[in-house]
Chains A and B, each alone.
Chain A
Amino acid sequence: MHLSRQKFPFFYTLNPEWLFRIASEMGAKVVDNKMMLMPTDLAEGMGVFLEVMPGLSVFLIDMSFKKPVAIDRVPQDDQFIAYYDLGEEITTHVLGTTPHRAGYSSRLGMAFMDSCIPTSLLPPINARSYSLRLIISKDLLKSLARPNYPNSVTEQLFDSSQNTLYFYSHIDSRSKILLNQLKSRKIKDGSFEFHLKHTALYLLAYLIERAANFEPIINRVTDREGSAIKQSADYIMANLDKDFVGISLLAEMAGMSVSKYKLLFKKILKSTPKQFYINERLLLAQKLLQSPQFDSLSQVAYELGYNSPRYFINSYVNKFNTYPVLKNSK
């Protein structure tokens, strides 16, 4: 049977106006201008929207959908959106019965983008979705990020005719700790609203500190190009147990020239495709070391397609400054 998704187009406003709009589309109830209670035939759970300070609002959802929906954010001009997903970041699962054929899928839990890039959220059915978004006015971000760059760079960085701010990554440790703490609290608690504001402000500060270390790449990105790069990163992450496919093939898959592909990849993922592959492979190795299914470092190395365990160990030490150790070695 073909599953047709019910579509809900929307865009954010810094005040609760948008919340009322999307709630009435979905048949949800808005309480106190901030809580969105979902109709039980569509989803179980709720969303919380708060205005944190001028130029910054936060929206948290904790719900599990019962029907397939597509929540489409339509392009709009004056904001940035930072998105944090608290699902499992990397899931590993064995395919079939062959012990050495494993399929891995990995996800990047954080996205930051100009609101002129549309997104489509397709939440899983009957599984808990827990995610948080910061809605940041362009003026606020610009004033906070200004001292990180020379004036000439800031002007270009925030000039939307020349540049699109846009990146995907893993959630950094500090943010992850905050988000995990938030997730462990109950939305109905009297203190929750303050915890959420605290989290939102710290996430914003961490985000700006982190972005200050990124090399600014001034380039406009269309949403088609953006999603092609995202898909390309997903492809790399789904094939970490194989050799690196090579830039030319990746560029071809993304429908871009090699030079354009390299530039945009670096802009959005903050590393070259090859570095990204090496990095993700080592992060996956770190996860595999925790898993009981391996008896030796060589097994992990071969599982991830390294030709030599020694090379694997060297790369691991280079990245993490510590030797790989099997957690459950017998």
Chain B
Amino acid sequence: MSKKFVHPYIPNGAPELMEQMLKELNISSSEDIFKEIPKHLRFQGRMNIPEPKLSEYELKRHVEGILKKNQTTSDNLSFLGGGTWDHYVPAVCDTIGQRDEFLSAYVGDAYSDHGKYQALFESSSMIGDLLKMEAVSTPTYDWANAIGIAARMASRINGRKEVLVAGSMSPSRFSVINNYLKPEISLIKIAFDKTTGLMDLDDLKRKLSDKTSSVYFENPTYFGPVEHQGEKIAEMAHAVGAEVIAGVDPSSLGVMKAPSDYGVDICVGDLQPLGIHMQYGGGLSGYIASRDEEKYVAEYPTLLFGVTSTLQEGEYGFGHVFYERTSYASREKGKDFIGTTTSLFGIIAGVYLALMGPEGMRELGEGIMQRVAYAVEQIDAIPNVKVLYKDNFFKEFVIDFNETGKTVETIHKALKTMGIFGGIDLSCSRQFPEMGEAAIYAITEKMTKEDIDRLVTALRKVC
């Protein structure tokens, strides 16, 4: 019965057109083409897929009906962070991200997609401005993917097979790279200092050797504190000939030192804070950058877009840089592998950085830090509740609930009834259960004093 409609997405489903084509081909149906598939390989049944919602409105009712079962961070007050953050997304970012030209383009060359190349080149350029680095790749799947790529690049550069990582790094990012570095490269965690939350340099010293290929740390750390020891870590790693990889939140770079200024060789992170909606974790987009030296550039597995000249004097043209590196060009002989990643998000991040400019990025960073400082002060004053690793945060901090005698789960359940989403529960077995009842709270520029006060009041009530 549904077949009597010509589907709006299938123009040649119109009987007259179909007939014309079949006639031209002198066949009676698609079966004359599918005849190449032997009978026993044909699917004889019917896929268990619902009847189509043919009218657009019917579809809209249906999908929105499901979405209505969600509770959002805009209808609640959310302190969740840890890799996806609830930053403000400027309207222009949405406008550009929804342009059909960018939305629906793919792998066309610069001759048909000049704008795509220029946009991604500019995104790389502005990320490079934040990092003070000149080689920046098109986006990766996510931050974790970028760490894995960087560690493998380092290993190819120096031929070593041991990667030391900050013990405080995000467990899910750790899980990704743990798989990505197998089977050849081993991953060793460096302990973090229990009072500062920063890397334990003694432990680093013990584990560094001439086998160390690279050292990875995050700045700010997963727990929130700024890793002040970046320069020292880089110095120690370089002393044994290792590469230094840092995972840096780009939203911090209006106020925080550029990674290349403290010795980072390869910098990675996520573009999600730069104008990309959270989308239930779907907004991730990794970046990866380094100095512009052949030894690094030759090891990128990703697509690299470069600016060049054209037959028209003074015109910019774009193209692939050093394309033969990639698995598209060289299959298994390429560096790792490349595929469809997150280019559209990369373009949006560029729009965001241009909107913000140097002053906007500074105000963003400072504003977040002020809100966090205020929140920390207020929360720390709650009886039995304390904030760990104090006076040293960017946009996240750890609240220690151990002395309340309550579990994070209980506390967060109570907060939820008040319309508050508590932060990441570290007591979960996949997080840092050894820290007991503690949670990472994130605060972005969207938070007002009233929001923070509301949390504090709620915590006082619950704890």
Is the A/B pair a real complex?
no
